[in-house]
Chains A and B, each alone.
Chain A
Amino acid sequence: MDNFIKVLIAKPGLDGHDRGAKVIARGLKEAGMEVVYTGLRQTPEQIVRSAIQEDVDVIGLSILSGAHSYLFPEIMNRLKKADHSDVAVIAGGIIPEDDHKKLKELGIKAIFQPGTPISKIVDFIENEVQK
């Protein structure tokens, strides 16, 4: 077993806002995790492929465009089909509260809203991966 928690930070869809994704990627690295950032404009297929190739423990999805209602179910279904449902998926960005319940039912573990300290995300990931 390796010692590092490995995280894929991904930008699904056409959204170009990646300040949050980059800040989180750096914060998680400084907390001792291994982090891969996909860059912009990733399809659900590309994200799942990267997660499997990189053998990550966690996928962090960042989205501010409102396209999560379509893209997140696609990603979760593809993970399931690829038999990788054990990868913990978390999300952040601009995701209205009204949508949280539905997204959590899909298996997304947590949705962090703007203003969340990185330390809280680090704690959440560490807890989640130990389980």
Chain B
Amino acid sequence: MSEENIDKSYKEWKNDKFDKTAQRFGERKKEFKSDSNRTVKPLYTPLDIKDLDYINKISFPGDYPFTRGVYPTMYRSKLWTMRQYAGFGSAKETNRRFRYLLGQGQTGLSVAFDLPTQIGYDSDHPLARGEVGKVGVAIDTLADMELLFDQIPLNKVSTSMTINSPASILLAMYKVVAEKQGVSSEKLAGTIQNDILKEYIARGTYIFPPEPSLRIITDIFDYCSKEMPRFNTISISGYHIREAGSDAVQELAFTIADGIEYVKAAVDIGMDVDEFAPRLSFFFNAQMDLFEEIAKFRAARRLWAEIMEERFKAQKAKSKMLRFHTQTAGSALTAQQPMNNIMRVTLQALSAVLGGTQSLHTNSYDEAMGLPTEDSVKIALRTQQLIAHETGAADTIDPLAGSYYIESMTDHLVKEARQYIEKIDELGGMAQAIETGYIQREIQENAYRLQKEVEKEDRVVVGVNQFIEEDEEKNNNLLKVDPAVENEQIEELKNIKVKRDDQEVKDALTQIKKAAVNDNNLMYPIIKAVKAYATIGEISDVLREEFGEYEAQYI
């Protein structure tokens, strides 16, 4: 059928059938909008994708621009990595949870660190009081990391670590623990988050100002390209941007813009783009709008591939492949009727799988109330296993390609994200755009819009503003972190400090300072320091002294 004929038939259908019927019976809503506030038409047809060139814009899995997936066989060869983010209390306790998860069929590890660790304070720092072991595991020295990975073979499992400002310290510890297990660095697989820009925007665990932070990051790129070639050196994260209240377009645009800034920084110090770009990885959110999310993942791949080719003249295919982890949206979980969260997570996880994710964390239904229990985590993991093995969603590659709706939305998301990126370019790049508060303002505006929509019931949240149950049973079955952990951790730290060789620590810290001043790669002296059991706080303090601390601006 020719385009003209379709156009003619479509208009007839629209005028004679749709409009008339809609007039007679009305429509459920005055306006149908996607989660990102984009108008959703009643019907999509071949006309919506008539200008879309299949080979240039969609293509085949494993082929540029990777819209249909980064690998030729996708889940037909290997399912995504099922990777539940976990960590609480002491290293010993978290090690137990890790081994439980691996025993239940989880295929990768993901470490949650407590806030003092993430902000470079030891457990005995005054600002760490009340926080030790709360949102993740407490790590002070190499001794804790040795316990964390006890009896876990690091040559067989890949590990993701949510660590940003002190990423180089934790990466160094991981390398040394592996070495002690007899596993050499070039065999290690995993990811460090190492994405400081989104910390300023959305997540809050920054230590240093942007410039030295970017330098620490490019040091890691450089080090890993030589010594840890299988390790993902960064996980450029839209997840937290979305959690802070952005919409899907903003999540996409700001994440890719962060990526551009990191590539620029590395190229600026003289690195060859094809040397480090294959090890860049990404991290996205899976929210509730099923189709928009699937289109977002597909759009992300196309957009990154195009940018790496156009802007940075990347040659290797791997440099243009956007590989990503997904986590279901924490902010979509409700404290009301928490069992409903199991269904929310299922749909979000499905969007990630249909969008071609490389790894996935599914949230537990009780996380709007506190830390998940072993049982609730198990249901979350089972959700992934069920999607993988029972639904057929993983049996053919990119099954929604060719859907008029999905393809046209994928294309629109790319274009809208590009407009944002142009605006960010005009502001002088992402670091500058953050400095002016522009990015934070855009996200806050949207967060407020979402809240208003829920309050006006323009946006229905089941169990929260509709289908409410007044006398809900309370869920008291939450995981509790033993308050004794803090003191035990502080005691343990004291013991380590007594046992270690103080002179060795002092010398190692001096080496770090020298490298910081002389612009030498920080990774090498940091590895020496962690081997001497220097603490995260001690190493961070040396860098604080040299680099200063970031002061956030509030608008």
Using CB atoms and an 8 Å cutoff, list the residues of chain A in contact with chain B: 13-19, 22-23, 26-27, 37, 39-41, 43, 65-67, 69-71, 94, 96-98, 113-115, 117-119
Contacts and interface: CB of A to CB of B under 8 A. Distances in A.
Contacts of A70: 129-131
A22 B336 contact: no
A114 B334 contact: yes
B478 A98 contact: yes
Contacts of B244: 18-19
A117 B468 CA distance: 13
Nearest to A113: B335
Nearest to A16: B204
A69 B203 CA distance: 22
B476 A66 contact: no
A118 B451 contact: yes
Interface string B275-290: 0000000000000000
Nearest to A70: B130
A116 B115 CA distance: 26
Interface of B: 115-116, 118-119, 121, 127-131, 134-135, 199, 203-205, 243-245, 331, 333-336, 368-371, 444, 447-448, 451, 454-455, 461, 464-465, 474-476, 478, 481, 483, 552, 554
B250 to A, nearest CB: 13
Given A94-B368, A97-B475, A65 B447 contact: no
B407 to A, nearest CB: 32
The prevalent SS among residues of A at the interface is loop
Contacts of A17: 204, 243
Given A16-B115, A16-B205, 16 more contacts: A14-B115, A15-B204, A16-B203, A18-B244, A19-B447, A23-B245, A66-B481, A69-B483, A70-B129, A71-B130, A96-B478, A97-B369, A97-B474, A98-B476, A113-B335, A118-B455
Contacts of B128: 14
Contact of B130 (A18, A27, A69): A69
Contact of B464 (A16, A37, A115): A115
14 contacts: A14-B128, A16-B115, A16-B205, A17-B204, A19-B244, A23-B448, A23-B451, A26-B448, A65-B131, A66-B370, A69-B130, A69-B483, A96-B478, A114-B334
A26 B449 CA distance: 11
A66 B135 contact: yes
Contact of A115 (B116, B119, B334): B334
A12 to B, nearest CB: 9
Of A19, A43, A65, A67, most B-chain CB atoms within 10 Å: A19
Contacts of B461: 115
Nearest to B370: A96
Given A14-B131, A39-B554, A40-B552, A19 B331 contact: yes
Contacts of B455: 117-119
Given A94-B369, A96-B478, A113-B335, A14 B119 contact: yes
A69 B130 CA distance: 7
A115 B336 CA distance: 8
Given A71-B130, A98-B476, A115-B334, A22 B115 contact: no
A97 B475 CA distance: 8
A2 to B, nearest CB: 23
Contact of A39 (B119, B444, B481, B552): B552
Nearest to B443: A19
B239 to A, nearest CB: 13
B243 to A, nearest CB: 7
A103 B368 CA distance: 19
B131 A94 contact: no
A22 B246 CA distance: 13
Contacts of B331: 19
Contacts of A98: 476, 478
Contacts of B454: 117
A114 to B, nearest CB: 5
Contact of A22 (B118, B129, B335, B444): B444
A65 B134 contact: yes
A64 to B, nearest CB: 8
